Amino acid sequence: MMMETSFLIDSFAEFAKFKNIDRPTMIRILEDVFRTMIRKKFGADENFDVIINVDKGDLEIWRAREIVDDEFAEDSFDFDPNKHISLTDARKIESDFEIGEEVAEEVKLIDFGRRLVMTARQTLIQKIKDLEKDILFQKYKELVGEIITGEVYQILNREVLLLDADSNELILPRNEQIPKDRFRKGDSVKAIVHRVEMHNGNPRIVLSRTSPTFLERLFESEVPEVYDGLISIKKVVREPGERAKVAVESYDDRIDPVGACVGMKGSRIHSIVRELENENIDVINFTDNLELYIQRALSPAKIISLKIDSDEGRVSVYLKPDQVSLAIGKGGQNIKLASKLVGMEIDVFRELDGQEEEDVDLSEFVDEIEGWIIEELRRVGLDTAKSVLVLSKDDLVKRTELEEETIEDVLKILKQEFE
């Protein structure tokens, strides 16, 4: 029985050392388990001392009882054999004991019976498991927003399971993967710790490769000036795997933040682009001048003029016809990201020159085309008949949220105007 206790304490101490559990926590857990065992056997544990020597794997349990006269021991309802001992029984231990003194006796583990000791062993194993889960939860809670690397060990339909350096399970859900991500078992994968939650008593560590924070951390790892705080990343917006815009600001006039982030011949940004499955990254200089910031956000398109409506949170941008498609970008990505970056809805309009005055504003077609359809076309920068007609049906399906059938009807109506 003693060997079993020694083994229990030794194995717990070894685990505690491996997991960097502090000594007071370790002793507290062991004492808690043994006190539970005492309560089950004796009904209470207030008058018991539990002494644990972790280094030697020793356990001592001492019970303190008050000496009472024999008559009280035999006749009184207040006599509690767990707290009191008769004078006669006390003098069997030491002949000079007197009434009112305290007797301390060691309770041997064998007195508890094998079943209680086995229960204590199972309780200790469970507490070790709970502690391990809590340590893992706390460790990753502190790592939320940080990059870690895991190894792919299982690929499921809705998620990829990875293992960290200590063989803990990490989850990379499908919606947190870049659409072009393709993993194989054994692959090394970088991601940020997105969130940590307890699920049925187990820590669930969820990673992300689509979060803007992931891109921010990659810049920190590739650009020393960002890591050192000389360049600040003001905002990151992404269409994962497709396009991103990053606004940066330098706290040192001698440092060009855009140049530092891109690197010589794109050396610094290339490794980030590769990690993000060739995501196209626009790095722009942040400024408090909202007009200039909007112009930079819509890069590479060149703006002629703009009107800001702060109350509505909208801005109307005017460009030459050949710049409109640049401003909108593939599938409307550029304008969508620019809007997120500046925190305003951007409406794109083409500035007509003399040669294009035969073009007709979409508002002229309100009798034939429903207002909400015209609004949707305007939302993606298409405000005249010709601006719609220069695009193919497929382009319009991609850029707008209109049905193919609706677009066919619109094209038919607009074409008739110029026939």
At 383, the pLDDT band (50, 70, 90 cuts) reads: confident
More confident residue, 247 or 99: 247
Under CATH, what is the fold of the domain 2-138? N Utilization Substance Protein A; Chain:P; domain 4 (3.30.1480)
pLDDT at 291 over 90: yes
d(CA 364, CA 384): 9
Under CATH, what is the fold of the domain 143-210? OB fold (Dihydrolipoamide Acetyltransferase, E2P) (2.40.50)
Tokens describing residue 231: 């360049």
Average of per-residue pLDDT values in the chain: 86
pLDDT for the residue numbered 3:
45
pLDDT single digits (tens) 172-198: 999 999 999 999 999 999 999 999 999
Q: Return the CA Rg of the chain.
A: 37
**Pairing between β-strand 280-285 and β-strand 243-250 as defined by DSSP bridges:** parallel
pLDDT single digits (tens) 308-321: 988 888 999 988 88
Is the model's pTM score more than 0.85? no
Q: Do 143-210 and 2-138 fall under one CATH topology? A: no
At 124, the pLDDT band (50, 70, 90 cuts) reads: confident
Interior CA angle at 365 toward 361 and 368, to 5°? 165
pLDDT single digits (tens) 237-287: 999 999 999 999 998 889 999 999 998 888 899 999 999 999 999 999 999
Which range of 32-36, 231-235, 317-321, 329-333 scores highest in mean pLDDT? It is 231-235
What residue spans define the domains of the chain? 2-138, 143-210
pLDDT at 148 over 50: yes
Q: Any bridge partners for residue 3, and if so which?
A: none
